[in-house]
Amino acid sequence: MIFAAGLGSRLRPLTDSKPKALIEFDGLPLIEHVILRLIEAGVTEVIVNLHHYPKQIRSFIARRHDFGIHVEYSEEKRLLDTGGGLKQVQRFFSDGTPFIVHNVDILSTIDLTAMTAQFQNSNCLALLAVKKRPTSRYLLFDETNML
C-alpha cells in the first residue's frame, strides 16, 4: 500500500496545484520512485490511497500503463490518517499475505527484498523500518528492541 493521500502542506506552494505524490525529486515524481522500488522488491500489485488531487495521480499512473502491475485506489473523502487508511482497505489484506506499507514521501535505499525476507523468516506480526534521527516523536523500544 502506498500512502499518497496527504495534503503536502509542508511543501506549499508546490502542492497548491498538485499532490505531493507528483512532486519531482531527481527527475521523477515521488510516487514513481516508490512504485519502481516496490517493483524491484517483487511487488506485483499496489493500492494507493488518494485524497488531494486524486485525478492527477490516477492519470499519471495510467499514462505509465500502471507500471506493468495491478494498481487499485482507495479514495478518502476526508483524510483518515494511517490507521484509517489501512482500515478502509483491510479487505485487500485479509488473506494473511504479507504486505508492505510505504509512504509516498519516504525515499530510501533500504533493501526492501532483504527486509521482506527478514519478515518472512521471523515470527513477528510486523516489521518496521526506522532510522535514528533527531525528532520530537521517538519510537520507544524495550530491551529486546521490540516496540
Q: Print the domain residue range for 111.
A: 2-121
- Is the pLDDT reported for residue 7 higher than 80? yes
Whether residue 95 is contained in a domain is answered as yes
Asked if residue 139 belongs to a domain, the reply is no
Q: What does the pLDDT read at residue 86?
A: 86
Summarised one tens digit per residue, pLDDT across range 86-141 is 888 888 887 777 888 999 998 998 999 998 888 888 888 878 887 777 877 666 66
Q: Residue 83's pLDDT is what?
A: 82
Q: In this structure, is residue 141 part of a structural domain?
A: no
Residue 127 falls within a domain, yes or no? no
Residue 83 lies in a domain: yes
pLDDT of residue 139: 64
Residue 133: inside a domain = no
Q: What is the pLDDT of residues 11-44, one digit of tens each?
A: 899 899 999 999 999 999 999 999 999 999 999 9
CATH number of the domain within which 23 lies: 3.90.550.10
**Does a structural domain hold residue 137?**
no
The pTM score is: 0.85
* 44-96 residue pLDDT tens: 999 999 999 999 999 999 999 999 999 999 999 998 888 888 888 888 887 77
Please count the structural domains in the chain: 1
Contacts 24+ apart (CB under 8 A), 95-103: 99/1, 100/1, 100/38, 100/41, 100/43, 101/1, 101/3, 102/1, 102/2, 102/3, 102/34, 102/37, 102/38, 103/2, 103/3
